[in-house]
Chains A and B, each alone.
Chain A
Amino acid sequence: MKETIHSSQILVCGGTGCISSGCEEVKNALEDELNKNNLSEEIKLVQTGCHGFCEKGPIVITYPDGVFYCEIKPEDIEEIVTEHIKENNIVERLLYQDPISKEKIANYKEIDFYKKQQQIALINCGYIDPLEIDDYKKQDGYLGLKKALTELEPEEVVQEVKESGLRGRGGGGFPTGLKWQFARDAQGDKKYVICNADEGDPGAFMDRSLLESDPHRIIEGMVINAYAIGADEGYVYVRAEYPLAIERLQRAIEQANEEGVLGENIFGSNFSFELHIKAGAGAFVCGEETALMASIEGERGMPRPRPPFPAQKGLWGKPSNINNVETLANVPYIILEGAEAFNSIGTENSKGTKVFALTGKINNTGLVEVPMGISMQEIIYDIGGGISDGKEFKAVQIGGPSGGCLPEDKLELPIDYDSLIEAGAMMGSGGLVVMDEDTCMVDVASFFLDFTQSESCGKCTPCREGTRLMLKILNRITAGEGQAGDIERLERLSYNIKDTSLCGLGQTAPNPVLSTLKYFRDEYEAHIQQRKCPGGVCPELLGDFKIDAEACVGCTSCKDACPVEAIAGAKKEAHRIRSEVCIACENCVDECPVDAIFRE
């Protein structure tokens, strides 16, 4: 971390997560309070992008002392200003409390969630104002680009990226330097670079946060990329669902053009580069590179057979180089600090760090950046604070619809591209969804198949028809109508679809099924043979609704809510449900004030 930008400042997180938790009101209250106390000159109020710890938003951090206040409401602001800012007394009650030791922690670097992180891509996120190019420049922003343009030949830039060992962060993990080399070697007077910001994997939001929090880093990465391969025009393809990211990136591009780090003769060199934004229109398959290019061209976003690869014939038939947002976020660091600084981190074949989106049944949800090779155990328990509500861990889903579910005995595995594939999952974009004992793994598999089936573009038969068939079988199993041989049918279909689909969507679509079959086969068998759902999720396989007579307070709320008069019992006495009448509408469950209604 570089020196603080102002001697004293207050940061308010303004990522999408915190905005929905009410950070705008907090920021306005802070502004008013600082004005009221004549402090607005002295202390700079900065609305940053995402600070990662979405669980605890809105987040307020004071500098230079780095005190971390969480779950802040507008009414807390007066106390922060009068006590902390004016009197230098930390407001104890608003500090983060460690969920295990119950200790209050003031400095955010001492909080477990941040302690084990090592940040390269996210280094500025939550620290600088994404709308100010000067903030970025003060953090050595655009110096990597300057170095590339003034000291290095394009070939040397490619070489540096190759030596860094950087691999594509969007899913496949292809070596980035090699991909750049292919595009550099391609013949043609017109070439394009493209940034893939069509982050569609459910459970992943690192690209969104990067664009919202540090858009200039992506621009810098792209200009370096363009210089290296010899492109003069580029596109950032952003999901339509990310309006704030588009808005901030647009602003950053305008500033970069004004400052001469984008546009004609960058840094006084004879290199020029023009950058555009393309907003997607809601199609998951457009995250696939050839489909994405078809979409930029204004076509239906359907994948094209490869070869020819984009490096030879990409956008409008010209050589093109396409990189993911997080990949590009690492590039300025690699060029400025050198390949060695980067490849000294990580494992043998996976260098550097990886950003994970930690979500699901876990205490600390948010974005974390860790060195490659760290274990899942450390991410989930040390950083993530363990499973929420005191439940038992069951599985962690990694890599979205292309990835897989790993059980408890795989938690010690050092995470890198190759170890995950070996275990039956994949890095994917880095979504980590933690699941507890109340999760049904067959339901999870069918959830993903439902997703890939509806997002299949329909161009190739194995993906279009195969995922539909698999989903049909999975739905039959969760409905309690599974047949003998269904597991084998699923396996056979999976391998056929993997081997014969045109693009990555189909080739990886069966992964969630295969990995759950590998590690949780007993749950499939329980559904098919015993007609039972061990996770207690599949409605058709659950028992009758019952009222716990001990807990029931006899308030009659359930009786009033029942549309078929299936509940009997006098006021102030325990009620009971007549299962032969009950239609399992769950109205009573919603109404019960003491949660006495359960399902066997």
Chain B
Amino acid sequence: MNCTCEENREKYFAPLKEILKQYEGTQKDLIPVLQNSQEEYGYLPAEVLAEIAAGLNLPFSRVYGVVTFYSQFHLEPRGENIIRICMGTACHVRGGTKILEKFKKELDIEANETTEDLKFTMESVACIGACGLAPVIMVNDNTHGRLVPDDVPEIITQYA
């Protein structure tokens, strides 16, 4: 958020106000509120967290504590496409690491980083539960399975 004038501020927080309205406003709603807010804003900027803390009547530290505990929540902007590379057991024994290495090479980023053009964020994750198709990755909500390193460039082009 670059501008701080009141009108823009209101516009910026309007979707968050809508989200907060759907809940009773207690601690038990914190995780769903964070999930919906991240869906809306793409990540969880500090201003949004402060607003959530106020809306749910919680100390900021409590909200921050929950956000940093769960791997699903992000404090930094994320890429347009999220690539999740499975590092589960089945994928590990079927060569998941080679798929990760190939992605690193092709995108020129490390795991848990975002490309400069904000096109891709790459995460290595524990089991995504499609072990029958190992090695497997998810791009956004799509699963790609039985991969070999040579499949990687094509997958990237598909989403670029």
CB within 8 Å of A: which of B102-160? Answer: 125-134, 136, 141-145, 149-150
| Residue from B66, B72, B142, B144 within 8 A of A300 (CB atoms) | B66
CB within 8 Å for A204 and B129 given contacts A297-B27, A590-B149: yes
CB distance from A389 to the nearest CB of B (A): 11
A208 to B26, alpha carbons, bound, how many Å?
A: 30
- Of the four ranges (under 10, 10 to 19, 20 to 34, 35 or more), the interface on chain B belongs to 35 or more
A242 to B72, alpha carbons, bound, how many Å?
A: 13
Assess whether B17 is interfacial by the CB under 8 Å rule.
Answer: no
Assess whether B54 is interfacial by the CB under 8 Å rule.
Answer: no
A/B pair count, beta carbons within 8 Å: 140
Please tell me if the beta carbons of A359 and B132 are within 8 angstroms of each other in the complex.
yes
Report chain B residues within 8 Å CB of A57. Answer: 132
CB distance from B145 to the nearest CB of A (A): 5
CB within 8 Å for A203 and B71 given contacts A17-B133, A21-B145, A298-B30: no
- Of the four ranges (under 10, 10 to 19, 20 to 34, 35 or more), the interface on chain A belongs to 35 or more
Please tell me if the beta carbons of A297 and B92 are within 8 angstroms of each other in the complex.
no
Assess whether B32 is interfacial by the CB under 8 Å rule.
Answer: yes
Assess whether A243 is interfacial by the CB under 8 Å rule.
Answer: yes
| Residue from B32, B65, B87, B132 within 8 A of A279 (CB atoms) | B32
Please tell me if the beta carbons of A17 and B130 are within 8 angstroms of each other in the complex.
yes
Report chain B residues within 8 Å CB of A203. Answer: 88-90, 127, 131
| Residue from B28, B88, B93, B150 within 8 A of A296 (CB atoms) | B28
| Residue from B65, B93, B128 within 8 A of A435 (CB atoms) | B93
Please tell me if the beta carbons of A282 and B71 are within 8 angstroms of each other in the complex.
yes
Assess whether B35 is interfacial by the CB under 8 Å rule.
Answer: yes
CB distance from A468 to the nearest CB of B (A): 17
CB within 8 Å of A: which of B1-57? Answer: 26-32, 34-35
A302 to B93, alpha carbons, bound, how many Å?
A: 30
Please tell me if the beta carbons of A54 and B73 are within 8 angstroms of each other in the complex.
no
Please tell me if the beta carbons of B134 and A359 are within 8 angstroms of each other in the complex.
yes
Report chain A residues within 8 Å CB of B70. Answer: 280-283, 301
Report chain A residues within 8 Å CB of B126. Answer: 200, 202, 284, 451, 455
A199 to B92, alpha carbons, bound, how many Å?
A: 18
Q: A361-B94, A435-B93 are in contact. List 15 more A-B contacts (CB 8 A).
A: A17-B133, A21-B145, A54-B130, A200-B127, A202-B89, A202-B92, A205-B131, A241-B129, A242-B129, A278-B31, A282-B72, A297-B28, A365-B131, A367-B132, A448-B89
Chain B residues near A (Cβ < 8 Å): 26-32, 34-35, 65-66, 69-73, 87-90, 92-94, 125-134, 136, 141-145, 149-150
Interface pairs (17), CB distance under 8 Å: A20-B142, A202-B88, A202-B127, A203-B89, A205-B127, A205-B131, A208-B129, A281-B72, A281-B73, A283-B70, A283-B71, A300-B66, A361-B93, A361-B94, A433-B89, A444-B92, A447-B92
